[in-house]
Structure 1
Amino acid sequence: MHCHFNGTLLIQLLPPVLITEFILGIVGNGLALWIFCFHLKPWKSSTVIIFNLALADFLLIVVLPFRASYYVSRMKWMFGDTFCNISLFLLAMNRTGSIMFLMAVAVDRYVRVVHPHHPINSLSIHKAVCCAFGLWVFTISMTAHLLAIPRDNTTRCESFTVEGKLQEGESNPMLMWHRTGFLLSFWIPLAVILFCTFQIIVHLRRTQLGQNAKIKKALWFITVVVVVFIICFLPSNITQLLAWIKKTESKDCHQLEVLDTAFYITITLTYLNSMLDPIIYYLSSPAFQKIFKKAIGVRQAEDIADTADIRLEKPGSNSKSISQL
């Protein structure tokens, strides 16, 4: 089967979306890494997980300008075959890394709420780093094949496509594995995250701890993780699955082009994850929230308000300031 897709809609739609994701993502994740590295002390095992999530997001974000340039150039890759493979590898590796660490965040909250006395809750920083390293090794092993995909001097730079002979999964075992790994690396973590969320909700209802403020925050946090995960990763996996099925049973190039276009639009939503994850960092720790507010000037504004309240007190009065009432 040989189909040729012009990608007109992608050329018009994706560059501004990718640039927006890059700008907001680089600011949010750059600020988060700055807080983690220089201000958030001491670290906990959960901090190690969130830090690696931020690192995966940041490494993905830095590739987006090259993808935007690719679409601006009417889907002609201008940076050579080697860097094409490297950029596809970085996108896949860090997309998978984000999924793995989001799953780890959900598991961490599940254990802390449902099994508060489990030894894993007192995991040392060293062991947490070893676990994070293991997730990175797994992620790289799932995506390293992209570094070896033959380009055949083409100007296209894609790891997914249903057109032409160049990158048909049936003729390239690496691309077949890439498509399979793409689907499995979403559906399995999704099942784990949903299980953790369900178990947390059931546990809170059974023990009637839902009114506890700290528990409410944990429930809100895991809900945000689930919502971000589903919004960002579910659409692309559904469209990829549909495209794979349709390709085996249909020779209609128009239908395949519609699915191909839908997939590349939804794959851009996976990069949106790197823009939304700073919300998860913010909710993960009161200490992070405090440092973040100080970094953007919120603390300073509060201090000014407190100073103004103190000035409102009468000289010699023992009354409390307005802010203390």
Structure 2
Amino acid sequence: MANTSETPLYQLIEDCEVTHEKLYKFYAAVIIIIFILALPLNASVLHLFIFKLKFWKSNTNNVFLFNLVLADILLLICLPIKAHNFIKGERRSPNDAVCKAMLFMLFLNRGASIAFLTVTSIDRYFNVVHPGRKNLLKVLKKSPYISIVIWVLLLPLTIPTMLKNFDCCNSHKTHKDEPSADALIQDVVDSLREAVFFSQIIIPFVILVYCTVRIVNRLRKKTVGDKTKLKRATFLVMTVMVVFSLCFLPCTLARMILLIARVQEWRPIFQDKATVAFDGLMVLSYMDCLLDPLVYCFCSTKFKGLYLSSYFPFLFKESQMPIDTSSGQPASKPARNTVI
């Protein structure tokens, strides 16, 4: 780790060394807390989807949600390494292979989480707003291979991020000499990579806003009949919006400010503040592995009851125990006869 008291601030930023050791140790502590809370939560959810819900035999929504769990597991694998780097005063691993692997896993998780959250909301939108209309998604979701296709399509969007200058926010470096062909090519590559980064957020966000508005309007216009399905769909898309807005939009805005700071060559102290803010909001984005279970609860009618009955059976009466789809029997024996 560089000596921050002797190394110029601008050089620390370029070398991907932390400039505020105590703050980055706080970031590391937050990452560790997220890891400790999210690991058992996602492990229990994974167990439920595989052994209780038999996701491959049930509706396609469960398949999408299972893939969302896999995306969160990818993120959890990276968190201890990220926390270790921050504690050592490094914004990324000095090992080239580890650095690229970390970037690949982090951004594959990011892309997969956004993709499956968006697909789940679109599916619910068609079910509620256009229940009888045939559409491409309804045709595709009947095939279990649609999830594999989504993962494969994410790969070309993830590979461009596997560069150190992305993790260290060093896109569009200032070239002190006259612009050369290599420098121009690097600027083009940086621009394309940043375009991929922002499009992964902006396009799905617009889709989510549209789905949310249409479903809410549909709920308001329905004056007769059962509104339970519509209310559940509304809660789902609004929950997805909350997860999306909290985890992904802030770091995207910080990334935009950071790029402006670099392109316009702001003073090193302002570039440093933008860099520290971006790293902190990236840590906030890791919260999605804790918030995604909210999506499961509102998306699957069985999930919430089955999860509580499997891991907290004392909350249910025996007559209210959800059915375990793998056995046809109540999920577990209750410990008391009251519902809390």
Of 1, 18, 35, the match for 2:31:
18
Q: Which residue identity is paired with 2:52?
A: H
The within-5 A match list for 1:267-306 is 267-297=282-312, 299-303=313-317
Cα RMSD (Å): 3.0
Any stretches of 5+ residues in structure 1 without a counterpart? 307-321
Shift of 1:286: 2.5
**Partner in structure 1 of residue 329 of structure 2:** none
Matched, 1:51 2:66: yes
1:80 aligns with 2:88: no
Tell me which moved more, 187-196 or 235-244. 235-244
Q: Which residue of 1 aligns with 2:167?
A: 158
Give the equivalent residue in structure 2 for 1:317.
none
Alpha-carbon distance in 1 for matches of 2:166, 2:82 = 9
CA distance in 2, matches of 1:20, 1:210: 45
Is the CA contact (8 Å cut-off) linking 1:235 and 1:266 kept in structure 2? yes
CA offsets per residue over residues 272-295 of structure 1, 9 Å max, x none?
111110111122212112220122
Q: Does 1:4 align with 2:12?
A: yes
For the Cα contact (< 8 Å) 1:197–1:222, is it kept in 2?
yes
Give 2:316's aligned amino acid: E
Q: How far apart are residue 171 of structure 1 and its match?
A: 3.5
Q: CA deviation at 1:189?
A: 0.3
Partner of 1:232: 247
Task: Go from structure 1 to structure 2 and tell me whether the alpha carbon gap of 1:77 and 1:227 turns closer, same or farther (over 3 Å shift).
Answer: closer
Partner of 1:30: 43
Letter in 1 for 2:220: R
Whose RCO is larger (CA < 8 A, sep 6+)? 1
Give the deviation of 1:56 after TM superposition. 0.7
- Matches of 2:138 and 2:187, distance apart in 1: 46
2:247, 2:284 within 8 Å by CA — same for their partners in 1? yes
Contact 1:3 1:163 in 2 (8 A): no
The equivalent of 2:232 in structure 1 is 217
Q: What is the CA deviation profile of residues 251-278 of structure 1, one whole-angstrom value per residue up to 9, with x for unaligned ones?
A: 3111111111111111112111111101
Distance in 2 (CA, whole Å) between partners of 1:182 and 1:210 is 43
Shift, 1:116, TM fit: 0.9
Structure 1 residues 241, 198: closer, same or farther in 2, change over 3 A? same
Correspondence 1:1-325 to 2 at 5 A: 3-5=11-13, 6-8=18-20, 10-41=23-54, 42-75=57-90, 80-119=95-134, 123=139, 127=143, 129-147=144-162, 149=163, 158=167, 160-161=169-170, 171=186, 173-208=188-223, 212-297=227-312, 299-303=313-317
Greater per-residue helix proportion: 1
Q: Given that residues 239 and 259 in structure 1 are in contact (C-alpha distance below 8 angstroms), is that contact kept between their aligned partners in structure 2?
A: yes
Q: Is the 8 A contact 2:72 2:289 kept in 1?
A: yes
Report if the CA contact (8 A) 2:172-2:263 is conserved. Answer: no
Aligned residues: 299
Looking at structure 2, the residues matched to 85 and 284 of structure 1 have their Cα atoms a distance apart, in angstroms, of 34
Shifted more, 200-209 versus 179-188: the winner is 200-209
Counterpart code for 1:241: M
Contact 1:236 1:263 in 2 (8 A): yes
Q: Deviations over 1:87-140 (max 9, x none)?
A: 11100111111011111111011011101113458657651x222222212211
In structure 2, C-alpha distance between the alignment counterparts of 1:233 and 1:145, rounded to whole Å: 19
**Cα separation, partners in 2 of 1:285 and 1:72, compared to 1, 3 Å:** same
Letter in 1 for 2:257: L
Aligned twin of 1:315 = none
| Counterpart residue identity of residue 28, structure 1 | L
CA contact (8 A) 1:142 1:181 kept: yes
Are the equivalent residues in 2 in contact too, given 1:103–1:192 (CA < 8 A)? yes
User: Which SS does the other structure have where 2:12 is aligned?
Assistant: coil
* Distance change (3 Å), C-alpha of 1:47 and 1:124: farther
Gaps of 5+ in 2: 1-8, 176-182, 321-336
State the alpha-carbon separation in 2 of the partners of residues 26 and 210 from structure 1.
41
Q: Match of 2:72, SS?
A: helix
